[in-house]
């Protein structure tokens, strides 16, 4: 099967970025890449600092951001060589059909895990509001029954507000959700930082920063590094962003490496990648460090659950996050259906499933399984860690590492071959190690 068939596969992000005929400027490409990375993962960033301390938390986020920036550059360079228009098409051209199927399986699992996380956030966001409505509107006195539980909120909102939207055969409104996602991210960051600072200032001087540590236990690093991996994932969009990027003047600070990389467009894309990862890292560092400094002993995997319910701003932000997850779930599900039909079933059976029957069965199974898991999990960070540490490692580390090893084999310059071989081997070993650790610790 020709690899260009895989170029039609939509790439994953928390919010899908649609293809545009016009070329994107450098600033537009940076916006698209940032928007592809940020999302619900910000809610669990404080847990990284809670488990590892200020310094170790800082190092984890910086290191993961740096590694992911490097692998984004690897994919952009490979897309330039193969003239591919999607991550799936790139892998098909370079590594073959089986690797492409493995990528799409990982994409499907990543999207599925993200959908489970969305449902958990919906439950956290609306549980208190629903409890208030039960007591004051319906005069329901019990707080312990299933009707007042987070599980009921997840099931009710999921079945009435989310599931009907998932049965649609076309994706509409993704541009609006995409813009809302970034605006909400900025608002969430500001709300968390301001509320945390207000809490710190409200404490007696002697009690401020009590419990804050610089270093945590080593086990905390391995347990939370996959949360950072989840938070920076935008690899499934980078090929599309690269193809839409217009060629422009190489930034001055990158001209020093121009003799190693002749394509000016790749260097411009590298500028986009570095600025995008730096922006995401700054947001995550601020949220994680400031909220941990304010609540060093009580951080929960969803930072909003750490805060009280006495702040109107925080309560409003919590509801906005919940509404965003309701809107994002169907947008997240659409590329999952495409990955299953075009990226897995079609190359295996030589026929793409279609029709209302496939849409109904796939949507029903996808939603039901995600709902069952959302009702079973209690910690949002556990879902982020599991998704980032398994399917995320394949998408972000292992496949880019395999691409580097493939290119090292054919490269003419010996020093470049050595560099690609070492870095490719490191990415594969790092990804495989994190994958196995996540599975073992989960089981």
- Pick from 393, 381, 383: which is nearest to 428 by CA? 393
Q: Tens digit of pLDDT per residue, the chain (443 long)?
A: 444 444 444 334 433 334 444 577 888 888 889 988 888 889 999 999 999 999 999 999 999 999 999 999 999 989 988 888 889 889 999 999 899 999 999 999 999 999 999 999 999 999 888 887 887 677 666 666 778 788 999 999 999 999 999 998 776 656 667 777 788 888 889 999 999 999 999 999 988 999 999 988 877 888 899 999 999 999 988 998 898 888 777 777 676 665 555 577 888 899 899 999 999 999 999 999 999 999 999 999 899 989 877 788 888 888 888 988 998 899 889 889 989 998 899 888 888 887 889 999 999 999 999 999 999 988 888 899 899 999 999 999 999 999 999 988 877 778 888 999 999 999 999 999 999 999 998 77
Output the CA torsion sign for 165, 170, 172, 178: positive
Q: Give the pLDDT confidence score for residue 392 in this predicted structure.
A: 94
Q: How far apart are CA 220 and CA 56, in angstroms?
A: 10
Q: Give the pLDDT confidence score for residue 413 in this predicted structure.
A: 79
Q: How far apart are CA 434 and CA 440, in angstroms?
A: 10
8 Å CB contact between 88 and 7: yes
C-alpha distances in Å from residue 3, one per residue of 81, 299, 383, 392:
14, 47, 33, 23
Q: Residue 193: count other Cβ atoms within 10 Å of its Cβ.
A: 17
Tell me if residue 203 falls in helix, strand or coil. Answer: coil
Q: How far apart are CA 417 and CA 202, in angstroms?
A: 57
């Amino acid at each position: 099967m020709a690899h260009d068939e895989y170029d039609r596969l939509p790439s994953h992000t928390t919010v899908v970025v649609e293809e545009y005929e016009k070329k994107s400027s450098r600033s537009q490409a940076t916006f698209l890449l940032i928007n592809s990375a940020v999302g619900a993962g910000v809610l669990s960033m404080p847990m990284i600092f809670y488990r590892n301390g200020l310094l170790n938390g800082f190092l984890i986020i910086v290191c993961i951001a740096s590694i992911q920036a490097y692998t984004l550059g690897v994919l952009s360079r490979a897309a330039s060589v193969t003239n591919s228009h999607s991550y799936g098409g790139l892998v098909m051209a370079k590594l073959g059909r089986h690797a492409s199927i493995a990528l799409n399986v990982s994409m499907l699992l990543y999207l599925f895990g993200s959908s489970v996380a969305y449902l958990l956030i919906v439950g956290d966001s609306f549980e208190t509001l629903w409890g208030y409505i039960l007591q004051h509107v319906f005069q329901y006195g019990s707080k312990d029954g299933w009707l007042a539980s987070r599980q009921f909120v997840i099931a009710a909102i999921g079945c009435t507000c989310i599931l009907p939207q998932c049965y649609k055969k076309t994706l509409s409104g993704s541009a609006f959700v995409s813009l809302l996602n970034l605006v909400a991210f900025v608002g969430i960051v500001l709300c968390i930082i301001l509320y945390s600072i207000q809490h710190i200032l409200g404490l007696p001087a002697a009690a401020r920063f009590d419990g804050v540590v610089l270093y945590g236990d080593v086990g905390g690093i391995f347990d939370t590094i996959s949360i950072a991996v989840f938070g920076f994932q935008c690899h499934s969009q980078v090929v599309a962003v690269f193809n839409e990027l217009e060629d422009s003047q190489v930034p001055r600070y990158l001209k020093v490496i121009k003799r190693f990389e002749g394509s000016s467009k790749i260097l411009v894309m590298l500028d986009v990648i570095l600025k995008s990862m730096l922006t995401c890292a700054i947001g995550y560092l601020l949220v994680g460090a400031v909220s941990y400094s304010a609540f060093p002993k009580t951080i929960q995997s969803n930072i909003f659950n750490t805060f009280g319910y006495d702040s109107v701003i925080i309560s409003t932000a919590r509801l906005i996050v919940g509404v965003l997850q309701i809107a994002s779930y169907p947008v997240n599900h659409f590329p999952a259906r495409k990955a299953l039909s075009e990226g897995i079933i079609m190359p295996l059976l030589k026929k793409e499933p279609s029709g209302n029957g496939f849409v109904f069965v796939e949507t029903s199974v996808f939603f039901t399984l995600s709902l069952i898991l959302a009702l079973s999990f209690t910690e949002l960070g556990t879902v982020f860690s599991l998704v980032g540490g398994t399917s995320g490692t394949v998408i972000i580390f292992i496949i880019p590492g395999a691409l580097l090893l493939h290119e090292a084999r054919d490269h003419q310059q010996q020093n470049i071959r050595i560099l690609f071989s070492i870095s490719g081997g490191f990415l594969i070993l790092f990804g495989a190690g994190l994958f196995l650790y996540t599975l073992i610790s989960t089981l």
